[in-house]
Each structure stands twice: as C-alpha cells, then as structure tokens.
Structure 1
C-alpha cells in the first residue's frame, strides 16, 4: 500500500501516460491481475487474441449501496489461456481502481478501438501502448527517491491478494478474484504464512493472522486439499 500511495502522489492526474500507469497499478493490485494480462511485452507486440483492447470498453455500474464497479474481459489469462477471464473491480475510498480506470479512459478517449486498453495519448497526436517495462520504469521513478524497495510485476498480483485477505475477504473470494486454482492458492498461503508476522501493516491487528490461518484451514478442507505438502512444492 505504501508503494501505491507514493505512486499516486508522484503521478500527474492530468498527464495521459501517468493516468494510464496509475490505472494499470490499481487494476493489477485490486483485481489481482498479472501485469502481462494488462500490458504488452513490447511496442509492436500487440495482439488482440492475447491482449485486452480499448473495445469493447469496460462497463461501469453504480450499485444500490452507492459503490461503483467496473467490468472488462481479458482475451487471454495465465490460467484460463484462450478462454480469457472477466476482471471485476470494486470502488474504494482510497486508491480506487474504478476511479483510476475511468479517469484513464476519459483522458485517453481518442484512442482507436484496436489499441491496447491502457494505451495513452502522446503530444504529437499519436498514441503509445503501455508496455510492462515502461510501466515498471515509471513506478521506479516514483519509488527510488523515497528509497522504497523495488516491486516486480508479480508483486501487484500477490500484494493485492494479501491486502484483501488481511482486510477480511474470505480465501474463496480472493482465489476467485486472482483466478488461482485451489492447490496453487493454498501453496501461496503456505509461503506467505511465515512472512506475514514480519511484514504485516500496522493498520491491521496481529490477531488477523490467526484468523487467516483458521480461514485457510477451512478453505483446505472445503477443497479436499492435503494438510501437508512435499518440501519441493512449498519451497
């Protein structure tokens, strides 16, 4: 969360590229997405069969409770392959992915339909795709002056899941959001279990770790998963 707050403060809300960067960061984090599902590997590598495009546009809705949501489909996922996946985002008071996505689309509204979803306008009336390296490079510019640790692309996927779990979201819901298979998600928890006491945010009560352990025990039983794994799997 510290990295995301620093990034939001550093980026300009009126700059097309910065709005795209913040949208990618918050969508990846709260949507538990892999960066490769939102960005493209290089400027000339865009393929609509594998990369999410501007059209069809994400669908924004206001729920009866006043919360906003956004929904879009990626054509290719690490787990789902060509079946693709639906990415559902829920509005938040702080670091809102729905607001960031909406602002990006408004500021970059003249993008052609066949451009990547997170492409952004340039000063010469053209546009640029958001590559993974360009995204991480801009993040680095925000974090290095503050001496924040570097985050890999995988950190957004894992970090969002961890934050949701600590906030009390059930493992089944987080696994569905991050599109983990049940065994893979339990293995992720086993790796995380030893690190949480050292890295847990001060904003959470330490008792939440004990509650998480209980939640994951129930998750394991519900999915008929073993209590113990070979060291080669957990390592």
Structure 2
C-alpha cells in the first residue's frame, strides 16, 4: 500500500505515511478502520460531509472558530489524533507534550502544492520523540494550509509558549482545549443528524480519505 501511495504522490507521501510507523508496519496500521477488530466501542470516521457542515456553521472571522477549523483540518489531513494537537484542559499544558507557537513551520513546494510541516513534541506512537505533522494544500474550501495560515494571522499571538491553536480573547488569549473543540463540533454534527465522532475520528477519516484518493488515482 505504501508503495502505491508513493507511486501516485511521490516521496512526500511516503515520508508522511512512514515516518512514525515501526519496523514491519503494515497497511492495517496505516488505515485503522479497515478490517481491524476493535477492543472498545468503534469510533466512526470524520467524513467530508462532516467537514462541509462544520465549515457552513463556523464563522471563520471569529478567533475561536478560526482555531477550531484549523485544528479540524490539521487533524484530518495530517492524520493526527486530537490529543497530539490540543490541550486536555486549560491547566494541563506541558512543553514536552503540547505543540506551541514556537514549533517552527517549514514551507516547501511538492508536485506544485504548498506543503507546510511542523514538529509535534509528543505523539501516541512515538511518545516524547514526537513527529512531524505535514499538511499539503488542497486548493479548495477544505485546504489545511489555508486554514492554518488564516488562523495564525487572525490569532496573531506573540507569546512563543502559547499553544499552537490558542485564540484571541479581547487583549489576551485562550488555549483551544480538546473539550471545547469536541463540544463545539459535536453540537454542529448533532444538529445535522450526522454520525457522532470522537477525537480519534479525524485521524481515521483522513487516512480513509487518502486511501480512497490513491485507489482512484491508481485505478485510472
């Protein structure tokens, strides 16, 4: 599967999908919603329909909603767990676990697409060794690069130790917590009668979407 992804999208995809996989990793580890028995209650994936309703109901001119939209697309297209991007609570910040404004973005052009990446100090699979979060521009309404740059511009917070997805509140700022994110997005999904999802659902949905895109490309 990884060879197919690399053939279709080049070295970027191979790097993106293999950098955190342990030796002997398989496609099942890459796409966890395909054929693996769950040890606990299954978590449905985020779909493009979820994202469409989310975009329609958020006001991206407001700092909090801009942060939520950027976090959602980062988790989805970056195939990341919310716990790797957001704080559990306002008082739970740790520089060894939570990504901050001083993460340091790198920019490149890959296959004519703007790519940004930044370092995560902690991930579930690597612990404190961390990993890179890579976002590739989709050049549409669901572009993670556009969402991230808009968030950073609107929430122009100079404190280098502020969490990456912190947003402005009057003259100060507030961290975007996992509960705040799930509460806001959950209300939107419920009002649209969509399947309820959890934090891990963004990673599952992003991985599934990548696999479908590659399958269509390789079949054409």
Say yes or no: TM over 0.5. Answer: yes
Post-superposition shift, 1:168? 0.8
Aligned partner of 2:159 among 92, 107, 112:
112
Structure 1 runs of 4+ aligned residues shifted over 6 Å read none
Q: Please state which structure has a larger fraction of its residues in helix.
A: 1
Q: Distance in 2 between matches of 1:157 and 1:85?
A: 15
Query: What SS does structure 1 have at the residue aligned with 2:214?
Result: coil
Q: How does 1:1-235 map to 2 (within 5 A)?
A: 1-61=48-108, 63=109, 65-94=111-140, 95-123=142-170, 125-168=171-214
Higher-Rg member (1/2): 1
Q: Deviations over 1:2-60 (max 9, x none)?
A: 00111011111211100100011000001100100000110011111111001133223
Q: Distance in 1 between matches of 2:82 and 2:127?
A: 15
Query: What SS does structure 2 have at the residue aligned with 1:72?
Result: strand
Give the TM-score normalised by structure 1.
0.69
Query: What SS does structure 2 have at the residue aligned with 1:127?
Result: strand
Q: Distance in 1 between matches of 2:214 and 2:103?
A: 33
Q: Deviations over 1:159-210 (max 9, x none)?
A: 10000001116xxxxxxxxxxxxxxxxxxxxxxxxxxxxxxxxxx79xx9xx
Query: What SS does structure 2 have at the residue aligned with 1:167?
Result: helix
Decide whether the 8 Å contact of 2:75 with 2:203 is kept in 1.
Answer: yes
Give the TM-score normalised by structure 2.
0.73
Q: 1 or 2 for the larger relative contact order (CA 8 Å, sep ≥6)? A: 2
RMSD: 1.9
